[in-house]
Amino acid sequence: MDLFLHLWVMIFIYTIFAMSLNLEMGYTGLFNFGHVAFFGIGAYVSALLTLHQVPFEFALVAALLAAGLLGFLLSIPSLRLRGDTFGIATLGFGEIIRMVFQNEVWLTKGPMGLPGIPKPVLFSYRFATLPQYLLLTLGFSVLTFLVLRIIIRSPLGRAFKAVREDEVAAVALGKNIFHFRIKSFVIGSVLAGLAGTLWGHYTTFISPGDFTLLETILVLLIVVLGGKGTELGPLVGAVVLIFFQESLRFLRLPAEWSRYLAPLQQMIFGSLLIFLMIYRPEGLLREKGAGR
Amino acid sequence: MTFLLQSIFNGLLAGCIYALFAMGLTLIYGVLNFVNFAHGELIMWGAYFLYLFMESPLGLPLPIALIPALCLTILLGLSMDRFAFKPLRQANRLTLLITALGLSFFLRNGAQLFWGAELRTYGFEIKRGWKIFNISITTNQIAIILTTLVCIAVVYLLLHRSRIGKSMRAVSDNLELARVAGINTRRTIRFAWIMSSSLACIGGILLALDTNLQPGMGMINLVKAFAAILLGGVGNIWGALLGGIVIGFAENLGVLIISTGYKDAIAFGIMVLLLLLKPPILYGSQD
């Protein structure tokens, strides 16, 4: 039963993470390959603050602001780039943030990581047990879903899609594409920070090794598998992939296998990404009205 | 002063290696018009292939082991194109990039599956270098510089003196026009992959000679190679050469000022700086 609840907590956290990437990649066409950086910032900021006895409410707000601010700063130089150039710039950025976690030992304890992150307390209600935490993550993912739904169906969301589909036409209609890209990127970063915060307080231990390219690939795969630019795609992708990933962990395979199992699992992720792109680039759910 | 000279020398050394990476990356960019995210993995696998032939049970000496290693890397590059990128020639850019990223991840973990995540070396004894102007220079380091010079000469001759090289330049200039002029674009693309993979393999081996082997070595060098091609102008092979050397210098001189933990971040810093100054080549519209 606990395993089941754990699975759903992870699924909801990754759904939020994937929804944030879906806004950037699926709706606005920004190839963010360093999305894990914002997840990491959210986790670290909130963990550090709560470990210093700051109430969770403030820590959460600070984490979201930090992720958003970082997203804003990064977006200024890199959003001028063409798609692939932007992709590689964000990839490098993700690595740099990890280097910061690793090297600023005075703050983050470096590779040792931060243990004992307290469970969140929201309005003097403590989310300590698994069912309670499930409720918290469910609540936040529903909230994220509704916020994104409102954004996507608003004129702002339509402008995002216009930027994705045809930059020239968007410019011709008097849209400042640069502003729309920044908005999308900042909202995406804030939501990734939210997912990271929830994740950090759930596992109660974070270290730089948790925020590698693997996380980016996993969330990218969730978005692509579920269907880019669809409202429910991130949830569908998260259910399938988190189930696959976490169930392997609970199969209780012999310890000496783990040296082979981890790379093997990641090879499966990589090849799944390639196969999807070649044979079913639209994913499981197809975006309404999408060409091709 | 000695320290500074040593840093400059180390910068030249690193620059040579990065130049090889960047030239390979920009060759594919020129012909196929996309950044091959899996280029770093060609670098890494090239270095590991050599390791495979130099270790027991084979235990070949380096110059002989180099030949099968080079062949296998070329094969890897060609099959990358055949199985992942060729089906997507007409696809949009995002599809291509995600494929390349997935491929890179696949290959990196493949290496980890075979060789584990630990650091490895080719097992040469560490020899004391010669002292010239108080800086120490080892035989390996001289070999690195000489190999780079040979590679550059070969690339120059191939691109400017051979028929296939000329058609490659034509294709990267304008694919449609080249096709109309009767250039066999398929053959040209294949040739570009062969050159790119060879450069990656040799560069990877040189890097591993100078430092060590590790499955993660590909990705971080991809970012550096990319910074180098941005610096030199995307698609311009001689610019990439120059950009690589500049990145090498900047890294080794930069650590005189900032902590060595951030050495790998310097290339990224240069990249951001370039983007802020926005030279016109960088921000063409999304095609």
The interface predicted TM-score (ipTM) is 0.83
Nearest CA distance, A134 vs chain B (angstrom): 31
Structural domain boundaries enclosing A103: 2-209
Flag if B84 and A278 touch (Cβ within 8 Å): yes
Chain B CB contacts of A87 under 8 Å are: 35, 37, 97, 101
The predicted pLDDT at position B281 comes to: 47
**Domain of B209: which CATH number?**
1.10.3470
pLDDT tens sequence across B216-258 = 888 888 888 988 888 887 778 888 888 899 999 988 888 888 8
Chain B CB contacts of A110 under 8 Å are: none
With respect to residue B282, please indicate whether it lies within any of the assigned structural domains.
no
Q: What is the 3-state secondary structure (H, E, C) of B8-66?
A: HHHHHHHHHHHHHHHHHHHHHHHHHCCCCCCHHHHHHHHHHHHHHHHCCCCCCCHHHHH
With respect to residue A33, please indicate whether it lies within any of the assigned structural domains.
yes
Whether the CB-CB separation of B17 and B240 falls below 8 Å is answered with: no
Structural domain boundaries enclosing B25: 2-277
With respect to residue B286, please indicate whether it lies within any of the assigned structural domains.
no
The predicted pLDDT at position B129 comes to: 72
Flag if A87 and B268 touch (Cβ within 8 Å): no
Nearest CA distance, A5 vs chain B (angstrom): 30
The predicted pLDDT at position B287 comes to: 32
Read off the amino acid at residue B243: G
With respect to residue A243, please indicate whether it lies within any of the assigned structural domains.
no
Whether the CB-CB separation of B206 and A75 falls below 8 Å is answered with: no
Nearest CA distance, A25 vs chain B (angstrom): 9
Selected residues 79-98 of chain B with any CB under 8 Å from a CB in chain A: 84, 87-88, 91, 93-98
Q: How confident is the model at residue A289 (pLDDT cuts 50, 70, 90)?
A: low
> What's the domain count of chain B?
1
Helix (H) or strand (E) holding A122: strand A121-122
Query: Nearest-CA neighbor of B191 among B230, B234, B162?
Result: B162
> What's the domain count of chain A?
1
Flag if B276 and A260 touch (Cβ within 8 Å): no
Q: Nearest by CB to A82, which of B226, B268, B284?
A: B284
Q: Which residues of chain B have pLDDT under 70?
A: 126-127, 276, 278-287
pLDDT tens sequence across A66-82 = 999 999 988 887 777 76
With respect to residue B284, please indicate whether it lies within any of the assigned structural domains.
no
Flag if B268 and A274 touch (Cβ within 8 Å): no
